[in-house]
Amino acid sequence: MKLADNKATMSFSNGSASVDLPVYSGSIGPDVIDIRKLYAQTGMFTYDPGFLSTAACQSAITYIDGDKGELLYRGYPIEQLATNCDFMETCHLLLYGNLPDAAGKAAFTKNVTQHTMVNEQMQFFLRGFRRDAHPMAIMTGLVGALSAFYHDSTDINNAEHREIAAIRLIAKMPTLVAMAYKYSIGQPFMYPKNELSYAGNFLHMMFATPCEPYVVNPVIERALDRIFVLHADHEQNASTSTVRLCGSSGTNPFAAIAAGVACLWGPAHGGANEACLTMLEEIQAMGGVSKVGEFMNQVKDKNSGVKLMGFGHRVYKNYDPRAKLMQETCNEVLEALGLENDPLFKLAKALEKIALEDDYFVSRKLYPNVDFYSGIVQRAIGIPVKLFTGIFALARTVGWIAQLNEMIGDPEYKIGRPRQLFTGAERRNVVEIGKR
Ligand code: SDX
């Protein structure tokens, strides 16, 4: 970042001395006012719950222009990456800052492939869960448990440890998600097959059984790989900020990523894809498109607590570019599977059309986000609704790691420790229980 030819002067109407605050510029996007010395100079904090106007770090990984609906991974538009690259290239880009050449891609892919197995002891963790446990409960446990097996790569301040931990996490997340699925349906776990692609291997571990060979459908394989690309990173979202804050204490990478998994689970965040598909199924059960108007009235009634899941975004005040690409992927997969008349896809497109013409949504700049169509694609592929957020976590792991490693490599980083505006009881003395 560089000092802008501008500065902020904060003055106070109560006559307190004004303070000058430096303004910094990045390469693109809003400038920042550096308030690090504000408390020392004024005795006051800034107040920004939800961090609507707060840059918590500087980063060179992902840039979002919410007004334009633009998403860049290391400067490359998501539309170009989703069309011209695959998830392994995208992982290399996010981790190291550049797209690999053919040899680099082959070496990176081989490295990931050779770490897809998990320690045989990992399977025994699943036995402690009920078969109907939510996969995100299982994933939160399993990812944290990985740190118990890799004492050789848990020093987050050791660059080599960070590198091998990154490869291990990217490689093992599909294996763990597939294990959570197999456990829920009472089928045996399937080992990874190294000759398959990253997405193909995941499909194999999900849907193959020891009883017969499983043939990966290339259309589904490509669609799943694109879903991974679209979910790989997204600037300082809630789960990435969780990973950064958790990692800032110096804890190991596995524990920090487990914290990200836990945060992503929430329906306001990565859990929205599961919530969106459940919402579509409920509207379909009520009567489908004919009931959309009634549903929208509930959404617009503040007291209902009903939201149009898969719509709205803290940053995008325009169409989420990932939603457009996800809708295209939806079309491709449904056509390939002969499901082009899928009622839920028709319902989703009807909902989107109605919302984008309704002033409630237009005035609030609410558009479809990445979660609006992703559930329909995953359901068509045969992935159960409860596993959708697990797939999101699988794909976002590379972004979490890239952001964590960037933070640890930033000489400015400190343990994150926000302050507060205290509104509780002032000092008072304890009264003995007999006199209370
Ligand atoms: C992800 O941050 C990221 O980058 C996240 C993510 C990533 O890749 O990491 O993009 C992934 O989490 C996508 C978002 C998935 N969540 C959902 O689809 C859940 C439904 N969406 C909402 O919960 C909401 O839009 C949020 C949480 C996504 C954003 O909330 P904000 O920024 O805090 O906005 P807000 O709640 O202040 O909403 C502004 C207004 C409010 O109405 P008013 O008080 O002004 O009258 O819009 C309304 C909200 O009630 N609103 C909605 C709505 N989203 C916002 N009303 C109905 N349906 C919705 N979906």
Quick: pLDDT tens for 350-360: 999 988 899 99
pLDDT 10s digits, 227-255: 999 999 999 999 999 999 999 999 999 99
Q: What is the pLDDT of residue 307?
A: 94
Q: What is the pLDDT of residue 85?
A: 98
pLDDT above 90: residue 157: no
Q: What is the pLDDT of residue 170?
A: 98
Mean predicted confidence (pLDDT) in 333-342: 90
Distance from the alpha carbon of residue 58 to the mean position of ligand 1, in angstroms: 24
pLDDT above 90: residue 34: yes
Mean pLDDT of the chain: 95
Distance from the alpha carbon of residue 303 to the mean position of ligand 1, in angstroms: 16
* Residue among 299, 364, 396 to mutate when testing ligand 1 (max atoms within 8 A of CB): 364
Q: Which protein residue has the closest C-alpha to ligand 1 atom 28? A: 313
Query: CA 352, CA 368: separation in Å to the nearest integer?
Result: 7
Band of the pLDDT at 213, cuts 50, 70, 90? Answer: confident
Band of the pLDDT at 340, cuts 50, 70, 90? Answer: confident
Q: Which protein residue has the closest C-alpha to ligand 1 atom 37? A: 314
Q: Rg for the chain (alpha carbons), in Å?
A: 24
- Annotated active-site residue 231? The verdict is no
Decide: 59 in ligand 1 pocket, CB within 6 A: no
- Contacts of range 181-185, beta carbons closer than 8 Å, 24 or more positions apart: 181/135, 181/206, 181/384, 181/387, 181/390, 182/206, 183/126, 183/129, 183/131, 183/138, 184/131, 184/132, 184/133, 184/135, 184/384, 184/386
Mean predicted confidence (pLDDT) in 289-318: 92
DSSP one-letter code for 6 = E
- DSSP assignment of 22-64 equals EEEE-SSS--EE--TTHHHHHS-----TT-TT---S--SSEEE
Band of the pLDDT at 1, cuts 50, 70, 90? Answer: confident
Q: What is the pLDDT of residue 158?
A: 87
Distance from the alpha carbon of residue 349 to the mean position of ligand 1, in angstroms: 19
pLDDT above 80: residue 10: yes
Mean predicted confidence (pLDDT) in 361-383: 91
Mean predicted confidence (pLDDT) in 32-52: 96
As a whole-number percent, the residues of the chain with pLDDT over 90 amount to 88
Query: CA 376, CA 258: separation in Å to the nearest integer?
Result: 26
pLDDT above 90: residue 312: yes
Decide: 159 in ligand 1 pocket, CB within 6 A: no
Distance from the alpha carbon of residue 365 to the mean position of ligand 1, in angstroms: 10
Catalytic residue among 225, 233, 320, 371: 371
Catalytic residue among 313, 342, 359, 410: 313
pLDDT above 80: residue 152: no
Q: What is the pLDDT of residue 156?
A: 83
**Residue predicted with more confidence, 156 or 86:** 86
Q: Which protein residue has the closest C-alpha to ligand 1 atom 27? A: 268
Mean predicted confidence (pLDDT) in 419-430: 97
- Annotated active-site residue 313? The verdict is yes
Please name the residues in contact with 21: beta carbons below 8 A apart, sequence gap of 6 or more: 7, 8, 9, 10, 33, 34, 35, 37, 38
Band of the pLDDT at 153, cuts 50, 70, 90? Answer: confident
Decide: 272 in ligand 1 pocket, CB within 6 A: yes
Q: Which protein residue has the closest C-alpha to ligand 1 atom 41? A: 364
Mean predicted confidence (pLDDT) in 393-411: 96
Looking at ligand 1, which atom is closest to the CA of residue 237? Answer: 2
Instruction: Report which residue type is found at 376.
Output: I
* Residue among 231, 309, 311, 396 to mutate when testing ligand 1 (max atoms within 8 A of CB): 311
Q: What is the pLDDT of residue 188?
A: 97
Q: Quick check: 121 and 149 in contact, CB under 8 A?
A: yes
Q: What is the pLDDT of residue 264?
A: 97
Q: What is the pLDDT of residue 411?
A: 86
Decide: 138 in ligand 1 pocket, CB within 6 A: no
- Point out the least confidently predicted range of 56-65, 110-119, 185-194, 304-313: 304-313
Query: CA 276, CA 371: separation in Å to the nearest integer?
Result: 7
Q: What is the pLDDT of residue 101?
A: 98
Q: Which protein residue has the closest C-alpha to ligand 1 atom 39? A: 364
pLDDT above 90: residue 436: yes
Decide: 317 in ligand 1 pocket, CB within 6 A: no
Distance from the alpha carbon of residue 364 to the mean position of ligand 1, in angstroms: 10
Mean predicted confidence (pLDDT) in 35-46: 96
Distance from the alpha carbon of residue 311 to the mean position of ligand 1, in angstroms: 7
Band of the pLDDT at 218, cuts 50, 70, 90? Answer: very high
Distance from the alpha carbon of residue 284 to the mean position of ligand 1, in angstroms: 23
Decide: 62 in ligand 1 pocket, CB within 6 A: no
